[in-house]
Amino acid sequence: MDASVVGIRLASGVMTPLVKKLFRGEGAGAGLVDRPVRISSYVSLREQRVLSRDDLRRLADKLVAEALRVPGEQPLPPGEEAGVATALAVTLHSLGDLALEDAQAVEMGARAFAAELRKAAPATGLGRDAQLFHDRLLVTTCLHVLHFFTSRSTYIPAALVEQARRQAETIAKIDALLARIPRQGGRDAEFEARYLEYLAKRHSTLTIFGLDLPPGSARWPLDAAYVSLEATPRPRRVGGEGSATVPAQGAAHGSSPLGTGDLLAFEPRILLRGEAGSGKTTLIQWLAVSTARDEPEGSLVPFVLPLRNLTRYGERLPAPEDFLVATVLKGRAPEGWESRVLSEGRGLVLVDGIDEIPETERARARDWLTELLTAYPGNRWLVTSRPSAVPQDWLASEQFAELTLSPMNRADVAGFVTRWHRAAEAGDDLRDQLLASLRTKSELARLATNPLLCGLICALHRERHGFLPSGRKELYTAALSMLLHRRDRERELRLPELAEEPQLQLLQRLAYWLIRNGRTQLRRSRAEDLIAAALPAVPAAQVLGEAPAVLRHFLERTGLLRAPTEDTLEFVHRTFQDFLGARAALDEGGLGELTRHADDDQWEDVIRMAVAQGRPRDRAAIIGDLLVRDSDRAVLLALASLEYAAELDPELRREVRTAARRLIPPRDDQAAYALGRIGPLILDLLPLDAEAHRHARRFVIAAAETGSEAAIGYLAGYCHHRDEKIRATLTGVWERFDTEHYAAEVLARMVPPPDDLVVTSDAALAALTGFTGPPGLYVLHRVSRGALTHFLARQPVAGLAFQQFSGGTDAEFLRGHTSLRRLTIDTWPELRDLNALHGLPLEEVSLDLGNDVPLGPTLAAWPRLRALTLHSCGPWSFTDFAPGARPDVLDLDDADPDLTGLGRLTSLRRLRLGFDWRPGGKGAWAELSALEDLREIAVHTRALDGLASYAHLPSLRTVMVYDDEEMWDPDLKARVAHRFPQAELGLVTQAYGN
């Protein structure tokens, strides 16, 4: 075997479709003669005018790109790709000038045939390495060209059977060899295993706020701590200001929430927004650990990119070869390993904290992301940010879906509290007492909306033997007291006695420096300098020693600071940084500096916490200055600050509310979300008679975003609204609230009843006690068969959709449900008995059973069927349809059906025959042609020839194709357009095929 051919490492699955584009379709001399034909008669060049020089250049570009995609040492010097592609296009163009016959070419072999092409073409003008790469790629291409000749000519197989066999064997051996060649001699696989093991250990624990655990146990195992929250897809804006919105692309169920564990199963690119403490970084850890631990070898590889670490000193954002720069494995990977993983589409790139870099650097961060996405398509990407840090649709042009982490609902909070007390060994009595307080004290429940605050509440509840603070300021103050002073004192540690206030004075200087510089990390040496400069003014802290000893105390004893690297420090959570920074601003009298940054999202919490901690005149000065600035953001911040102003002049409160009213109605969805995040204060600003208002949906978004029980009454006013987007918002947020209360006040009163209500748990299902008519439910995998059976015994339903359901081997709980019209099963692998589905009055059915249970008898028992979608299902045929069935839509994604019996389904308007379907003869076209009212069809490109030749479909208006548009034969396109002059030709938008 020629080593130069193997060196390119291009498998036949890549080469064959590209090489075929060089040659014409069926034509003279192709298998119809008993003697050799000239090569020029095959070629799609010159007099045939099928393949232009531009087409040929694009083909050469693809050949070069495919050759360079293969992992391993790159054979071409950087920057010479375009030159090689140009030279290859010129060389291949000489195919049209060859006087050789196909038999002569086959007998010559690939190397000699390539030499003939080089002779017929002009000199390439390439350098030595580029010329060598060009020649190797040309030989590889010629090998496949000759194999093409052996499969097209009837003369050559007869005259040169042995030669043809050798050509085929050579290609097969290359494919087999390529499959066995280890990347980088096994170094990639070895390092990858080591890296994944490191990731799984590095991110497998969390900090536990306020827990006194034995030495070495001060971290919480991620498996025990992680609570899967939900994220709500945010609609994408289409067009300009005031344009319509549509659900996030690909998101299941429009605006219905998704479990965070399922995010990347639905969307390959996600921008995830979440408030401080909402669990963004914990989610990044969980995705990294679960992927590293559970994915099969050679599958996804996570890259965790915390921007606060990567850009702490203003460094450039990393290229792939620097993705490990913030880990102990920096410089240990085989050269180019990261790029090879991304080129293969195996990367899970987790970019944490767009909001944690200065606002001036975010445009550069977006450019960095765009370059990575362009260079390495096909990977999975998750980018996190606080909600206000970047505008809506910030990455929409890069096909990112936007989702927002939902606040913890009652079930989430109960689960978190239970896990916390189990880890702390705090006892069931204390846990039950706290859960009772969270149920009965609305102010406390409103605080426990994210994992950070919930953890602080748990810690303080145990620390204070059941006494809890009543507000956010009091919660942080108590937490700081616990962490800075009471823990060590009450454990009777022999340490120098140091009161809280001196420690706060020093820590707040570090916090304010970070805020002023737009950072979340600082060098250890800088921290020591800041402490050293402050120590003379804080003599009590000198009991600990000089600045290095003081800083060491903060790191080792308080739990407020941590060192992600040897020379870098950060606050354990951004919330503490903002709280202490606000305290410093008040001490320095820097109120003007605070309000000057009103439009900077990194200062929002600082300003709110300054209002919470300030004296009455400080609060009035801050809020008054925000109103003077008069920007929408400043007014919203002033309104949000009212919640924290324990004492404030009533006239100033009225001024704030008056200024805020001009923001009603919100100008777009983004403004509605921002308004809602202020909290229940905004409910008084929303109009009570807004049901018919053209901005009604934005009022609903704002009210729902507050997460306040007080919002339920307002949302109940929209129970009779017919707008589908408003109804979707009402049903999508219900588990953010007390599920029973919301179900009774909103869901039970909706007219018509909800038709796509997502149910995530048995408890949620039990909370649904009544509707104005049969609802439609989307049942997630955590719902049990028993709970569903109990629910269906008391409540008829019009629609059911199951996702990853584990409901046993039969569907007996559905038997006799005469109200059921819509059924979707998205994977139910245990299901074996479909008898209970017989006779149900189903009109719309979508099945992806994940097994091979025969479907034919069940189809025969659905006489009312109007729409059917089949994915992975058992045997069936068109003759199985019930005699009375008049389906309008058939979508057969993964099927390869025999069309026998199709012709009697004359009611069909849309038919998708699936990626794998190929016509079985003229009888198939006769069946298809019986569908005189068919308006849309979807087939593979390989079925287009028969469609254009034999199908008679006078009503056809759309022809959809499952394939890459660049692989379409232009002649075939023209024939389809001529055959169906009123039909538009387009691509099937989903991904199909094996």
DSSP string, 463-531: HTTT---SSHHHHHHHHHHIIIIIHHHHTT-------HHHHHHHHHHHHHHHHHTT-S-EEHHHHHHHH
197 Cβ partners below 8 Å, 6+ apart? 292
Residue 135's Cβ-count burial label (10 Å; 0-12, 13-18, 19+) is buried
Cα angle, residue 152 at apex, residues 148 and 154 outer, rounded to 5°? 135
The two structure tokens encoding residue 785: 């068969």
Which are the contacts of 295, defined by CB distance < 8 A and separation ≥ 6? Answer: none
Per-residue model confidence (pLDDT) at position 957: 95
Beta carbons of 231 and 257 less than 8 angstroms apart:
yes
Q: Are strands 776-779 and 757-759 parallel, antiparallel or unpaired?
A: parallel
Give the angle subtended at the CA of 224 by the CAs of 221 and 230, to the nearest 5°. Answer: 115
Residue 613 has a pLDDT of: 94
User: 646: part of which helix (H) or strand (E)?
Assistant: none
Task: Return the pLDDT at 46.
Answer: 38
The mean pLDDT values, 10 residues at a time, for the chain of 994 residues are 39 59 50 48 47 74 76 67 88 79 78 86 83 85 78 54 61 60 65 89 68 46 64 49 33 46 72 81 85 78 86 76 86 90 92 83 90 90 85 86 80 85 82 86 73 80 78 83 61 62 94 91 93 93 90 81 82 87 92 90 90 94 92 90 90 93 90 87 84 85 88 93 91 86 94 92 90 93 91 95 89 94 91 92 91 89 94 87 93 81 94 86 90 94 90 94 70 90 82 37
Helix axes 128-152, 53-69, angle to 10 degrees: 110
806 contacts 786 by C-beta, under 8 angstroms: no
| DSSP secondary structure string for all residues of 124-148 | ----HHHHHHHHHHHHHHHHHHHHH
Q: Which two tokens stand for residue 64?
A: 């070069």
Q: What is the DSSP string of 209-261?
A: TT----TT--EEEHHHH----EEEEPPEE-SSTT--EEPPTT-TTTTS-EEGG
| Interatomic CA distance for residues 841 and 861, integer angstroms | 9
Half-sphere exposure for 735 (CA within 13 Å, toward CB)? 24
Report pTM: 0.60
Q: Classify residue 961 by burial, with Cβ atoms within 10 Å: 0-12, 13-18, 19+.
A: buried
Q: Give all strands of the β-sheet with 936-940 in edge-to-edge order.
A: 757-759, 776-779, 799-803, 822-826, 844-848, 867-870, 889-892, 910-912, 936-940, 958-962, 984-987
Q: What local confidence, expressed as pLDDT, does residue 282 receive?
A: 80
pLDDT of residue 27: 42
How many residues would you count in the chain? Answer: 994
Beta pairing partners, 870: 847, 892
Q: Can you list the alpha helix ranges (DSSP code H) found in 669-777?
A: 669-676, 696-706, 711-716, 724-732, 739-745, 762-767
Sign of CA dihedral 600, 605, 610, 616: positive
Contact 682, 672 (CB under 8 A): no
- Crossing angle between the packed helical segments 604-613 and 574-588, to the nearest 10 degrees: 60
Rounded CA separation 205/282 (Å): 9
Residue with tokens 């800083």: 551
Rounded-to-integer distance, Cα 155 and Cα 484, Å: 90
Amino acid (one-letter) located at 935: R
The kind and range of the H/E element at 892 are strand 889-892
Backbone φ and ψ for 692, nearest 5 degrees, come out as -95, 0
Residue 946 phi/psi, 5-degree rounding, is -65, -35
* Strand pairing class (236-237; 269-273): unpaired
